[in-house]
Amino acid sequence: MCGIVGYVGARAAQPLLMEGLRRLEYRGYDSAGIAVAEGGRLSVAKRKGKVRELDAALPAAGFSGAVGIAHTRWATHGEPSDANAHPHLDATGRIGVVHNGIIENAAALKQRLAAEGVTFASETDTEVLAHLIARRPEPSLVEAVRAVLAEVKGAYGLAVIDAARPGALVAARNGGPVVVGVGEGEGFIASDAAALMGHARSIAHLDDGELAEVRADGFTVFTLEGTQTVKALSELSGDALALEKGDYAHFMRKEIDEQPAAVRRTLLGRFDRRFATAHLGGIEMAAREMLDIRRVKILGCGSACHAGMVGAHLIEQLARIPAHAEPASEFRYRNPVIEPDTLYVAVSQSGETFDTLAAIQEVKRKGGRVLGIVNAVGSTIARECGRGVYLHAGAEVAVVSTKTFTSTCTAFALLALQLGRVRDLSAAAGARLVAGLDALPDQIAGIIAREAELAALSARLAGAEHAYFLGRAASFPIAVEGALKLKEVSYLHAEAYAASELKHGPLALISPDTPTVMLLPDDDLLAKNLSTVAEVRTRGGPVLAVTQPGVSLEGVEAAFAVPACEPELAPLLLNIPLQLIAYQVAQGLGRDIDQPRNLAKSVTVE
């Protein structure tokens, strides 16, 4: 969601802040702004639209100050506009605030300030913070911010600058991710460490209820009660080049291409070939503890939940443990029964998804045990879970998930294999699956190399207003994910159904104008799936198939075959053509592929 960057040091702040904003564009936003302290005042520019609009609005000579904050906004309070863009200032223009999250008692605070004569320049909840901080008498900025946050209810990640006290910035966190960076005689603030790559040497993650005073010579962290705390620094790893498109037109296409390497990294060092099993050291569970598991509950949002659905099938197939995936956003709003013999698995690409984090905290509050499957090292969910699996898929910049979805499904295959071998899965079956997983990267690369063969399927979908995706059993989650991808990047209406449910209602929607994408793996359900194809064709519905070699197809308008593989792993391969189809359709329709309208990469508010 919204992005924050802050800098204090000796260099000109503006180029560093603008570079940070460009690296945070993937999070999704509708406006951007910057404030730099120079000559005892804040120089501010902010614009509705993309960072390029903000760049064009900056003065030709640029801002010269060495301390500043910047922001990309995803609208919550107030429509996208220049006035509602961050940073927000107090009446004198001395205090500047950028903020991710929602201030729940903003209306009451605004009413109080208005009664005291304050005039507001925006419709946002954030502006309230700037006015409150400016009115505090505390001698330091961090003390003033701490006093104001004692009055505030809601979620926030924020950075504050004071033109009258430009020696330090203040950051604070309660629900919204914030990292503090340390460089050579300079300090940084960001909502995502990606903004600091190539500049900060090391970073520290703030926890909820903490503030940081960030200076050029270091930083100090306090609790909201004023107690000073010690934060461990970790090296800022990662390649800044991974955040560049290179020769690709879009990050989404680049990240589709990166999937073979991403899957290899997810698999690397995680096979115990002697015993034909997987070894996920990060889950920190002995065989006896695994045997005690009676149920697995997987929690995630969006594509993470769909990957969890794939994982649930794999765990039931290989380990014979009842498993179920559900949206973390729904789980947290009911009063879930937390069982001591249930293993909860939280899935998040960013490791900052607010709904998933809240679900984890609910499970832990009731004594449950939670593993994390996360891509972002050191993220909030990774730290909250304490144990789990890092995907090592690399940075994913496009809003829609491709390589992290595939890597998450791969991680679930490893987890299912490890749980299965502890139970009743034979060594022969384990060896078969290890070989199948070994083959995945090259098979994925082969599918991507045949992208041109998907043109007929993509063209058929691009010309329709509605489309249906059908899959049965383990392929159903892939149908759901395929429909989501098409919706996200092309804005076409797509629905996914379990093929077995077609005659229980959705068959009424089939018509010659509504193509159906049917997933047809060559497995023991093939005959039933071909019967579903016949049902669609009988009603005049065109069928597009993603299948495997050797499947005899009648009445199918266009088809694409993925390689033969172990049956349990077929969903991972069937997924790749659906990603490419969504990309091709969106490209043909001229959509904003990397930053689809209304969407954010990491949803960190309710």
DSSP assignment of 121-171 equals SSS-SHHHHHHHHHT---SSHHHHHHHHHTT--EEEEEEEEETTSTTEEEE
Quick: pLDDT tens for 148-194.
Answer: 999 999 889 999 999 999 999 999 999 888 999 999 999 999 998 88
Q: Report the catalytic residues.
A: 2, 601
Picking from 308, 323, 349, 263, the residue whose alpha carbon sits closest to that of residue 603 is: 349
3-state DSSP percent of the chain in helix, strand and coil, to 5: 40, 25, 35
pLDDT of the residue at 150: 94
Helix (H, G, I), strand (E, B) or coil at 282: helix
The whole-number pLDDT of residue 1 equals: 60
Contact 372, 388 (CB under 8 A): yes
Residue 240 above 60 pLDDT? no
Mean pLDDT for 369-389 is 90
What would the two tokens of residue 111 be?
Answer: 């009413």
What is the set of domains in the chain, with CATH numbers? 3-238 (3.60.20.10), 245-445 (3.40.50.10490), 450-594 (3.40.50.10490)
**Cβ atoms of residues 527 and 500 within 8 Å:** no
Q: Is the pLDDT of residue 604 over 70?
A: no
HSE-up of residue 494 (Cα within 13 Å, Cβ side): 29
CA distance 181 to 199: 9
Q: Look at residue 426 in the predicted model and tell me its pLDDT.
A: 97
Task: Give yes or no for residue 246 having a pLDDT over 90.
Answer: no
pLDDT over threshold 70, residue 46: yes
How large a percentage of the chain has pLDDT more than 70?
Answer: 97
- What does pTM read for this prediction? 0.83
What is the per-residue pLDDT for 176?
82
Task: Classify strands 369-374 and 342-348 as parallel, antiparallel or unpaired.
Answer: parallel
Pairing of strands 323-327, 342-348: unpaired
Average pLDDT, the chain: 92
Q: What is the pLDDT of residue 234?
A: 86
pLDDT of res. 136: 94
Q: Output the pLDDT for position 605.
A: 55
Per-position DSSP letters for 57-114, written without gaps between them: HS-TT----SEEEEEEE--SSS-SSTTTSSPEE-TTS-EEEEEEEEETTHHHHHHHHH
> Rounded to 5 degrees, what are φ and ψ at 223?
-85, 170
pLDDT digits (tens, 9 = 90+) for 552-588: 888 899 999 999 999 999 999 999 999 999 999 999 9
For residue 506, the model assigns a pLDDT of 85
pLDDT at 75 over 80: no
Given this model, what pLDDT does residue 133 score?
96
- Residue 513, Cβ neighbours under 10 Å: how many? 12
pLDDT number for residue 241? 54
| pLDDT at position 374 over 60 | yes
Please say whether the dihedral angle defined by the alpha carbons of residues 257, 262, 268 and 272, taken in this order, is positive or negative.
negative
Question: Sorting pLDDT into bands at 50, 70 and 90, what band is 528?
Answer: very high
Q: Which phi and psi angles does 190 have, rounded to 5°?
A: -155, 155
Terminal Cα distance for the chain, rounded: 11
Report the distance separating Cα 360 and Cα 357, nearest Å.
Answer: 5
pLDDT value of position 18: 95
Q: 469, 482, 518: which is closest to 303 by C-alpha?
A: 482
* 42: pLDDT strictly greater than 70: yes
Neighbour tally for 182: CB within 10 Å: 21
- Decide: 490 and 585 in contact? Cβ < 8 Å: yes
Q: Which of 150-159, 230-239, 244-253, 494-503 has the lowest mean pLDDT?
A: 230-239
Max Cα–Cα distance, the chain, nearest Å: 79
Q: Using pLDDT thresholds of 50, 70 and 90, give the confidence band for residue 238.
A: low
Q: What is the mean pLDDT of residues 542-548?
A: 96
pLDDT-based confidence at residue 536 (cuts at 50, 70, 90): very high
The answer, yes or no, to whether residue 27 has pLDDT greater than 80, is: no
Q: Is the pLDDT reported for residue 344 higher than 90?
A: yes
- The whole-number average pLDDT for the span 296-316 is 97
Whole-number pLDDT of residue 401: 94
Q: What is the pLDDT of residue 606?
A: 59
Can you say whether residue 399 is alpha, beta or left, with left for phi > 0 and alpha for psi between -120 and 50 degrees? alpha
Q: Taking the CB of residue 584, how many other CB atoms lie within 10 A of it?
A: 22
- Over residues 471-514, the pLDDT tens digits come to 999 999 999 999 999 999 999 999 999 999 988 888 888 899 99
400-442 pLDDT, tens digit per residue, is 999 999 999 999 999 999 999 999 999 999 999 999 999 999 9
Q: pLDDT at residue 325 above 60?
A: yes
